[in-house]
Amino acid sequence: MKQYRTHCLVCTGTGCVSNHAFDIKTALESEIIKQGLKDEVTVIATGCNGFCERGPVMVVQPENIFYQELKEKDIPFLVEEHFLKGRPVEKMMYVPPKEEAVIPKMSDIEFFKHQLLVVLRNRGRIDPEKIDEYIGYDGYRALGKALTEMKPEQIIEEVKTAGLRGRGGAGFPTGIKWGFCEQAEEDTKYLICNADEGDPGAFMDRSILEADPHAVLEGMVIGAKAIGAQEGFIYVRDEYPLALRRINIAIEQATEYGLLGENILGSGFNFKLNVVRGGGAFVCGEETALIASIEGEVGRPKPRPPYPAQKGLWGKPTNNNNVETWANVPQIILRGGGWFASLGTKESKGTKVFSLVGKVNNTGLVEVPMGTTLRTIVFDIGGGVLKGKKFKAVQSGGPSGGCVPESLIDLPVDFEKLTEAGAIMGSGGLIVMDEDTCMVDVAKYFVEFLEEESCGKCNPCREGLKRLKEVLTLITQGKGEAKHLEMLDDIALLMKEASLCALGATAPNPVLTTLKYFREEYEEHIFQRRCRAKVCKDLIMYRIIAEKCTGCQRCVKACPTEAITGPRSQPHNLEESKCIKCGACYEVCKFDAIAGDAIYIE
Amino acid sequence: MIPITINDKQTKVPEDLSVLEAVREQGIYIPTLCYHEALEPAGSCRLCIVEVEERGRVRTAASCVTPLTPNMIIRTDTEKILKIRRILLELLMARCPGLKVLEQMAAQMGVKKVRFAQEDDDCFLCGQCVRACSEIVGVSAIGFSDRGVNNKIGAPFLKASNVCISCGTCTTICPAGTFHLERVDNLVSLHRYSNEYHQEKCRVCGDHFVV
Ligand SMILES: Cc1cc2nc3c(=O)[nH]c(=O)nc-3n(C[C@H](O)[C@H](O)[C@H](O)COP(=O)(O)O)c2cc1C
Ligand code: SF4
Ligand code: FES
């Protein structure tokens, strides 16, 4: 392979691509040629770097310089300054919130410093569309080991030693699950990789497939050997075109290299892999619904038992794992179960990828050892709450997760601890909420999402979600009654205990955790008709404080309904009946440079 | 035969029964809405929940779709189970006010009032008609359409089905008494689906068939 002095690793994950990363890449390439550097500097398109917030981003190696928010017009300057004259360009470097000095090196940036990359180890360093680059970083060595040196029982034993638990949500021990399927006495067995990822705001599985598709393939072939499966299916949601493209390229290349298909690595083992494009419903991620969907039926959950390990796809023993679960497997086989088990907590081993979003400075994809505290994730990696607002809660685990309050900020994040707190690991979505968030409104938001996504087959989920929404809506409209709290508890109990699948059983979590940790907000809504976060429109009123109003007329112009009137330089008048409580006046009232100083919400 | 315990009483039952069947065989009451002896269980109404204990682990399970295991401990009448069933029934009564089956069960289980806003549906989606049409009649003229709260039973696209033979099995099996088959001369109407079919009278047996 050709040697280069400098490598530009341009992120081409979905986030950066939507910010024109491919244009940046093209501009870099042509500028490098133009400035006569094409034998010295090379440009590589990598998978998601994680710091999507700052996209498009690029890392320059070997110096490890991190460039962010790149613009096409700045590329000629960058190429000249950095690559020709050897002066890295500060203008495009990262500045932490509330600071002024740039941090040139990626490894010094807080967002990256606390992360430990196992699953995402190849993110931002290889071109996911080139199998040779994956192989260059130990790729497919684990497969060689598994096929030539290990018996199926040994592979399963290694995964058990690792203590790997499913990353799809429930955290079921992967080795034990493989064991069930391995023991099923049938000749035909199937594997599934669940890449449905229907949680809004979650994008870890997409990023893994985009950044390192071969890790997932390799994990699946190893799993197939352990279980005795001949055919596998990767169920990818249709909204993930880039992931689909990369997984298809990876399958093609792996097949060409004899790492997939007939007689893999000359060992006599055959494994065929198919890609299935998912229809998109959230509930199709539930494994029995997913199986029905692959079979071409309507994606509705079925009662278990029988479990897929006994009767799965087309009635045959089937083992389904999540994308991230599969991607962990090659590392476990290569470095040993003991190594993996040394990471994480007593019950939860290894690392977990989280998508950090919401009211936090650094949003993006982070991988940390299990047991890392919420504080580290939100305040160190995430850089704290946006605009210096006060932190209120983290919603963990997707729509049916729970809200963890500030008092639990030092909670070490693992399967057990999150469940104890009433939340769930789910797929690893973390939404940061600040003081401007109304917790009743949050509960209502998730309930509404889940109501849309419930398949409607069983009564507790279908009727329960409808009624949770009904009651929460009344409370947020200022029509709450004391009995409503008990009604919410009752529905939650019914759903948790009696629903057919985990969607219904976990759906009350947002309500239960907000009731548990933020009960006073519910009570304020019900008994005082007050929304402290000033979110619930029926409970707030906008007023102008006459003593503070200078009569600047900015609010008069901003109000879409002409509710505010008054001549210049005199305190304005806000007509309550016309006010639709949109908050536009509050936003523009900047007298004394303090937003909303003369506009008061109560 | 395997040993199990139902409400603190030990007994032996055939192992191929479901928990529901085993319990009912002992003459113990479990309310059901979607279960029918002649059909594959769907496990969707969830009224038949009981508490089962296996190897020390206790969980709530829908008895109609739970297979028996040796030494299983089943409790059908704990305070929690009864409470959950009452809440479930209350929700169904809010959905379908005035349905006799529900009112009878409610009286038996002590559901006193319905705290939720009343709707005016007359189908609680037990799906017995759908399964009967497919499993017994072998026609699958009706099915579920739409998702979640909008879930409905009907022929595809809620239009008149072109495979329905208007045998009326759905109307006989419906526990809610929601369907009726109405015949005026050669026109058969299946209410609820708003399906209408032209039938002719068979010259041999005198019965009607769809043309
Ligand atoms: C409503 C619902 C949605 C789910 N969505 C997903 C999903 O998008 N991806 C996933 O891997 N698992 C999802 N699951 C969990 C799967 O049912 C299953 O447990 C998981 O794929 C098993 O893989 P694992 O053992 O590797 O975690 C979902 C479960 C429910 C109830
Ligand atoms: S719990 Fe909800 S999603 Fe699951 S089967 Fe019941 S209605 Fe469908
Ligand atoms: S009878 Fe068991 S779920 Fe309906």
Chain-chain contact of A456 with B94 (C-beta, under 8 angstroms): no
The helix or strand, by DSSP H or E, that contains position B84, with its residue range, turns out to be helix B79-95
pLDDT tens digits, A144-163: 999 999 999 999 999 999 99
Would you place residue B163 in the very low, low, confident or very high pLDDT band (cuts 50, 70, 90)? confident
Pocket of ligand 1 (CB under 6 A): A 166-170, 172, 194, 196-198, 282-283, 285-287, 320-322, 325, 427, 501-503
- Asked if B90 and B136 sit in the same domain, the reply is no
Would you place residue B78 in the very low, low, confident or very high pLDDT band (cuts 50, 70, 90)? very high
CATH code for position B80:
3.10.20.740
Per-residue confidence (pLDDT) for residue B153, from 0 to 100 = 86
CATH code for position B192:
3.30.70
Ranges A274-278, A478-482, B12-16, B159-163: which has the least confidence = B159-163
Decide if A265 is inside a domain: yes
- Asked if A222 and A268 sit in the same domain, the reply is yes
Q: Which residues numbered 485-504 in A keep a CB inside 8 Å of some CB on B? A: 487, 490-491, 493-494, 497-500
Nearest CA to CA, how far is B164 from chain A (Å)?
21
Cα A399 to averaged position of ligand 1 atoms, centre (Å): 13
Per-residue confidence (pLDDT) for residue A141, from 0 to 100 = 97
Would you place residue B196 in the very low, low, confident or very high pLDDT band (cuts 50, 70, 90)? low
Nearest CA to CA, how far is A133 from chain B (Å)?
45
d(CA A393, CA A379): 12
- Asked if A424 and A445 sit in the same domain, the reply is no
Q: What is the 3-state secondary structure (H, E, C) of A289-330?
A: HHHHHHCCCCCCCCCCCCCCCCCCHHHCCEEEEEHHHHHHHH
What residue spans of A355-438 are helical by DSSP H? 374-375, 415-420
Q: Strand A190-195 vs strand A58-61: parallel, antiparallel, or unpaired?
A: unpaired
pLDDT for residue A18 is more than 60: yes
Per-residue confidence (pLDDT) for residue A569, from 0 to 100 = 85
Chain-chain contact of A483 with B47 (C-beta, under 8 angstroms): no
ipTM above 0.90, yes or no: yes
Nearest CA to CA, how far is A304 from chain B (Å)?
8
Q: A465 CB near a chain B CB, below 8 Å?
A: yes
Decide if B18 is inside a domain: yes
Q: With contact defined as beta carbons under 8 Å apart, do A262 and A231 qualify?
A: no
Decide if B115 is inside a domain: no
Would you place residue A594 in the very low, low, confident or very high pLDDT band (cuts 50, 70, 90)? very low
Q: How many domains does chain B have?
A: 2
Decide if B198 is inside a domain: yes
Q: B198 CB near a chain A CB, below 8 Å?
A: no
Ranges A159-168, A283-292, A298-307, B153-162: which has the least confidence = B153-162
Residue carrying the six token digits 């990876």: A250
- Asked if A34 and A100 sit in the same domain, the reply is yes
Atom of ligand 3 nearest to the CA of A458: 3
Separation in Å, CA A368 to CA A164, A360, A381, A382, A424: 15, 17, 10, 12, 17
pLDDT for residue B146 is more than 90: no
Per-residue confidence (pLDDT) for residue A568, from 0 to 100 = 86
Q: Which candidate, A583, A588, A580, places its Cα nearest to that of A601?
A: A583
d(CA A457, CA A483): 28
Which strands form B73-75's sheet, in the order they lie side by side?
A: B9-13, B2-6, B73-75, B49-54, B57-62
d(CA A126, CA A117): 14
Cα A181 to averaged position of ligand 3 atoms, centre (Å): 28
- The stretch A365-376 carries a mean pLDDT of 96
3-class SS at A155? Answer: helix
- Asked if A459 and A312 sit in the same domain, the reply is no
- Asked if B96 and B155 sit in the same domain, the reply is no
Among A305, A456, A466, whose Cβ lies nearest the Cβ of B147? A456
- Asked if B153 and B95 sit in the same domain, the reply is no
Decide if A210 is inside a domain: yes
d(CA A571, CA A559): 16
pLDDT tens digits, B30-75: 999 999 999 999 999 999 999 999 999 999 999 999 999 999 999 9
Decide if A1 is inside a domain: no
Per-residue confidence (pLDDT) for residue B204, from 0 to 100 = 77
> pLDDT above 90 covers what percent of chain A?
82
Owning domain of residue B182: 128-210
Decide if B121 is inside a domain: no
Cα A598 to averaged position of ligand 1 atoms, centre (Å): 50
CA dihedral B116, B121, B122, B128 (to 10 degrees): -90
- Asked if B68 and B11 sit in the same domain, the reply is yes
Q: How many domains does chain A have?
A: 5
Would you place residue A595 in the very low, low, confident or very high pLDDT band (cuts 50, 70, 90)? very low
Task: Return the half-sphere exposure (C-beta side, CA atoms, 13 A cut-off) of residue B179.
Answer: 26
Nearest ligand for residue B88 CA? 3
Decide if A236 is inside a domain: yes
Q: How many CB atoms lie within 10 A of CB B205?
A: 8
Decide if A115 is inside a domain: no
Chain-chain contact of A458 with B95 (C-beta, under 8 angstroms): no
CATH code for position A584:
3.30.70.20
- Asked if B6 and B72 sit in the same domain, the reply is yes
pLDDT tens digits, A307-337: 999 999 999 999 999 999 999 999 999 999 9
Per-residue confidence (pLDDT) for residue B165, from 0 to 100 = 79
Q: A531 CB near a chain B CB, below 8 Å?
A: no
Task: Return the half-sphere exposure (C-beta side, CA atoms, 13 A cut-off) of residue A569.
Answer: 0
Per-residue confidence (pLDDT) for residue A250, from 0 to 100 = 98
Query: How many Cβ pairs within 8 Å bridge chains A and B?
Result: 93
Ranges A163-167, A510-514, B151-155: which has the least confidence = B151-155
Would you place residue A541 in the very low, low, confident or very high pLDDT band (cuts 50, 70, 90)? confident
Residue carrying the six token digits 């006994």: A310
Decide if B120 is inside a domain: no
CATH code for position A424:
3.10.20.600
- Asked if B46 and B94 sit in the same domain, the reply is yes
Decide if A117 is inside a domain: no
Would you place residue A357 in the very low, low, confident or very high pLDDT band (cuts 50, 70, 90)? very high
> pLDDT above 70 covers what percent of chain A?
98
Among A453, A455, A490, whose Cβ lies nearest the Cβ of B87? A490
User: A310, A341, A372 — which closes off a domain?
Assistant: A341
Decide if B122 is inside a domain: no
d(CA A371, CA A349): 9
CATH code for position A29:
3.40.30.10
- Asked if A332 and A361 sit in the same domain, the reply is no
Chain-chain contact of A493 with B117 (C-beta, under 8 angstroms): no
Q: Mutation test of the interface with chain A: which of B72, B86, B91, choosing the one with the most A Cβ atoms within 10 A?
A: B91
pLDDT tens digits, A46-101: 988 889 889 999 999 999 999 999 999 999 999 999 999 999 999 999 998 888 89
Choose the residue to mutate in B17, B29, B64 for probing ligand 3, maximizing ligand atoms within 8 Å of C-beta.
B64
pLDDT tens digits, A387-408: 999 999 999 999 999 999 999 9
* pTM of the full structure: 0.90
- Asked if B67 and B133 sit in the same domain, the reply is no
Cα A499 to averaged position of ligand 3 atoms, centre (Å): 11
Q: Mutation test of the interface with chain A: which of B20, B40, B46, B78, choosing the one with the most A Cβ atoms within 10 A?
A: B46
Ranges B28-42, B68-82, B170-184: which has the least confidence = B170-184
Task: Return the half-sphere exposure (C-beta side, CA atoms, 13 A cut-off) of residue A599.
Answer: 31
- Asked if B141 and B174 sit in the same domain, the reply is yes
Per-residue confidence (pLDDT) for residue A581, from 0 to 100 = 86
- Asked if A281 and A192 sit in the same domain, the reply is yes
pLDDT for residue B194 is more than 60: no
With a 6 Å cutoff on the Cβ, whether A126 touches ligand 2 is no
- The stretch A215-236 carries a mean pLDDT of 98
With a 6 Å cutoff on the Cβ, whether A458 touches ligand 2 is yes
- Asked if A213 and A308 sit in the same domain, the reply is yes
Selected residue with higher pLDDT from A547 and A502: A502
Q: A125 CB near a chain B CB, below 8 Å?
A: no
3-class SS at A363? Answer: coil
d(CA A598, CA A423): 40
User: A313, A341, A369 — which closes off a domain?
Assistant: A341
Decide if A113 is inside a domain: no
Decide if A126 is inside a domain: no
Nearest CA to CA, how far is A508 from chain B (Å)?
15
Selected residue with higher pLDDT from A545 and A416: A416
- Asked if A160 and A291 sit in the same domain, the reply is yes
- Asked if A326 and A472 sit in the same domain, the reply is no
- Asked if B16 and B53 sit in the same domain, the reply is yes
Atom of ligand 3 nearest to the CA of B43: 3
Decide if B65 is inside a domain: yes
Nearest chain A residue (CA) to B62 = A498
> How many angstroms separate the first and last alpha carbons of chain A?
68
Per-residue confidence (pLDDT) for residue A448, from 0 to 100 = 97
Backbone angles phi, psi at A459, to 5 degrees: -60, -45
- The stretch A14-22 carries a mean pLDDT of 93
Chain-chain contact of A497 with B92 (C-beta, under 8 angstroms): no
- Asked if A355 and A330 sit in the same domain, the reply is no
Nearest CA to CA, how far is A556 from chain B (Å)?
42
Nearest chain B residue (CA) to A467 = B116
CATH code for position A242:
3.40.50.11540
Would you place residue A591 in the very low, low, confident or very high pLDDT band (cuts 50, 70, 90)? low
Tell the residue nearest (CA) to atom 30 of ligand 1: A286
Chain-chain contact of B84 with A497 (C-beta, under 8 angstroms): yes
Owning domain of residue A503: 439-528
Decide if B12 is inside a domain: yes
Per-residue confidence (pLDDT) for residue A419, from 0 to 100 = 94
- Asked if B101 and B147 sit in the same domain, the reply is no
How confident is the prediction for chain A on average, in pLDDT? 93
- Asked if B21 and B104 sit in the same domain, the reply is yes
pLDDT tens digits, A415-465: 999 999 999 999 899 999 999 999 999 999 999 999 999 999 999 999 999
Nearest chain A residue (CA) to B49 = A498
Cα A282 to averaged position of ligand 1 atoms, centre (Å): 10
3-class SS at A405? Answer: strand
| Peptide bond just before A305 cis, omega within 30 deg | yes
Chain-chain contact of A494 with B45 (C-beta, under 8 angstroms): no
Q: B147 CB near a chain A CB, below 8 Å?
A: yes
d(CA A194, CA A220): 11
Tell the residue nearest (CA) to atom 4 of ligand 2: A501
- Asked if A266 and A385 sit in the same domain, the reply is no
- Asked if A363 and A250 sit in the same domain, the reply is no
Ranges A76-90, A283-297, A568-582, B41-55: which has the least confidence = A568-582
User: B45, B79, B109 — which closes off a domain?
Assistant: B109
Cα A289 to averaged position of ligand 2 atoms, centre (Å): 10
pLDDT for residue A112 is more than 80: yes
Nearest CA to CA, how far is B114 from chain A (Å)?
11
